[in-house]
């Protein structure tokens, strides 16, 4: 909040202006008060927008729709005049910092707090979409953290600015870091567009950074939104699974707000209503909740499910090492067979008096055993890789037991098997197993296995 400047008006249509709450591409937001003294937020649009007939007409339509929005987690539209120059809009004042201010001042939020905020914003989107409005510009600065939960503001205003002289002059409506691929591609916005923005918003709250980065300017960000996956490194499961589905490039693959609320409720547990926000350090985010969030209308049957959480990079790396172990086992079987046949050939060639039948049968048996154990080892590596990638807790334990057996048998194999190649592949497989186990028992991997166990 900042004091008024010399160029700021002292009142708008009877609303006394007391301070500046912020400014953006669309105009300036003031802290105002009604004649009776109640605090309100007054948004005054840029003067050039008032000269655009298309903007005024679309602004009027959006305001009429926004007046029908009555959600617990939205800032109610109180008054507006789209015909004024400049146009203005009055909403209920929300005492509290924006999500952007909270994260910028305190860093990433606890996972439980993120679930609470996401659930509240999802309920706000339910109310907004039910009124026939699409936000189009959902971002951290448009989510205020009030004493009784988050409040979504500025819904519908972005659409009013589309196709006006402002956008035709080259100014983009919307924030690149929180735009959906369909917005970037110039396709019509739908409720799923706001869900994509909610996914980016959740990632920002959990990680303290935007998921598509800021590097390279706006055009580079838009390219990443359109063609690349979000960087969710460090985002814990299962929150990451929720965000990944919200950020699906295909709008049809994104969850609806009711499903998001249901998912967040399941993670918060009973007695922890979504919408409540907690955070330590200034600026404080209060923790009381006036009314619990409901899950909205019943979802169609079968009940839509969140996707299974994706394995973290530590599990993926462990699985790749197991694939390398399988390749090593195949190579060992092939080379072992070739070496066995080579030995037999040398014996038969250099020792003509030897029992050829016995040597041949013994060699065939040894080669068969080599191939059998090679294939068995390959299958075991691949089975463990598949099971661990899918978060089977027993697979991680069994992998540890098998590695222990391999470690115990390694010295014995060195004594019993004189072949240098077999010793070398044995050491390679042991090293691959050790590295894979270290990764499987790392913190992110453990969280992944626990999450998958809870979901079954």
Catalytic sites, residue numbers: 137
Q: Given the DSSP bridges, would you call strands 149-152 and 88-92 parallel, antiparallel or unpaired?
A: unpaired
List, in sequence order, the alpha helices (H) in 301-355.
313-350
**DSSP β-bridge partners for residue 17:** 32
Q: How many angstroms separate the CA atoms of 47 and 132, rounded?
A: 27
- CB distance 87 to 81 below 8 Å: yes
Q: How many angstroms separate the CA atoms of 394 and 370, rounded?
A: 29
Q: What are phi and psi of 156, to 5 degrees?
A: 90, -20
Q: What are phi and psi of 237, to 5 degrees?
A: -80, 150
Question: Nearest CA to 48 among 166, 137, 162, 153?
Answer: 166
Question: Which helix (H) or strand (E) is 116 found in, with range?
Answer: helix 111-130
Q: What are phi and psi of 279, to 5 degrees?
A: -165, 140
Angle at 389 between CA 254 and CA 316, to 5 degrees: 90
- CB distance 316 to 424 below 8 Å: no
Helix (H, G, I), strand (E, B) or coil at 301: coil
Q: How many angstroms separate the CA atoms of 450 and 384, rounded?
A: 17
**DSSP β-bridge partners for residue 18:** none
**DSSP β-bridge partners for residue 89:** 43, 80
């Amino acid at each position: 909040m900042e004091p008024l400047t010399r160029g700021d008006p002292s009142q708008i249509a009877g609303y006394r202006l007391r301070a500046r709450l912020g400014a953006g591409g669309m105009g300036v937001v003031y802290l105002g008060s009604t004649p009776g003294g109640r605090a309100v937020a007054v948004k005054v649009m840029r003067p050039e927008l008032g000269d655009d007939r298309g903007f005024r007409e679309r602004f009027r339509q959006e305001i009429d729709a926004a007046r029908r929005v009555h959600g617990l987690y939205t800032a109610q539209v109180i008054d507006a005049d789209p015909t004024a120059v400049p146009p203005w809009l009055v909403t209920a004042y929300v005492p509290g910092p924006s999500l952007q201010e909270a994260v910028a001042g305190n860093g990433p939020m606890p996972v439980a707090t993120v679930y609470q905020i996401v659930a509240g914003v999802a309920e706000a989107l339910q109310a907004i979409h039910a009124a026939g409005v699409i936000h189009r510009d959902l971002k951290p600065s448009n989510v205020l953290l009030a004493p009784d939960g988050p409040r979504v503001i500025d819904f519908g205003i972005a659409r009013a600015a589309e196709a006006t002289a402002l956008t035709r002059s080259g100014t983009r409506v919307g924030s690149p870091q929180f735009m959906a691929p369909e917005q970037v591609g110039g396709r019509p916005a739908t409720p799923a567009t706001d869900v994509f923005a909610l996914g980016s918003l959740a990632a920002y709250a959990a990680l303290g950074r935007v998921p598509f980065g800021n590097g390279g300017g706006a055009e580079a960000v838009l390219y990443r939104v359109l063609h690349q996956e979000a960087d969710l490194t460090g985002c814990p499961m299962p929150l990451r699974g929720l965000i990944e589905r919200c950020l699906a490039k295909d709008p049809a693959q994104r969850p609806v707000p009711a499903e998001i609320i249901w998912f967040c409720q399941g993670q918060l547990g009973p007695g922890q209503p979504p919408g409540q926000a907690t955070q330590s350090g200034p600026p404080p985010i209060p923790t009381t909740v006036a009314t619990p969030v409901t899950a909205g209308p019943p979802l169609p049957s079968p009940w839509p499910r969140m996707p299974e959480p994706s394995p973290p990079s530590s599990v993926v790396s462990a699985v790749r090492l197991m694939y390398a172990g399988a390749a090593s086992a195949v190579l060992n079987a092939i080379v072992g067979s070739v070496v066995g046949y080579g030995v037999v050939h040398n014996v038969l060639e250099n020792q003509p008096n030897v029992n050829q039948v016995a040597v041949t049968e013994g060699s065939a048996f040894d080669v068969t055993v080599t191939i059998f154990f090679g294939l068995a080892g390959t299958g075991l590596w691949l089975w463990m890789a598949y099971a661990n990638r899918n978060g089977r807790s027993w697979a991680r334990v069994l992998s540890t037991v098998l590695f222990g057996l391999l470690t115990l048998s390694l010295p014995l194999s060195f004594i019993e098997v004189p072949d240098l190649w077999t010793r070398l592949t044995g050491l390679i497989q042991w090293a691959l197993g050790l590295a894979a186990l270290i990764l499987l028992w790392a913190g992110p991997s453990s969280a992944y296995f626990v999450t998958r166990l809870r979901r079954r």
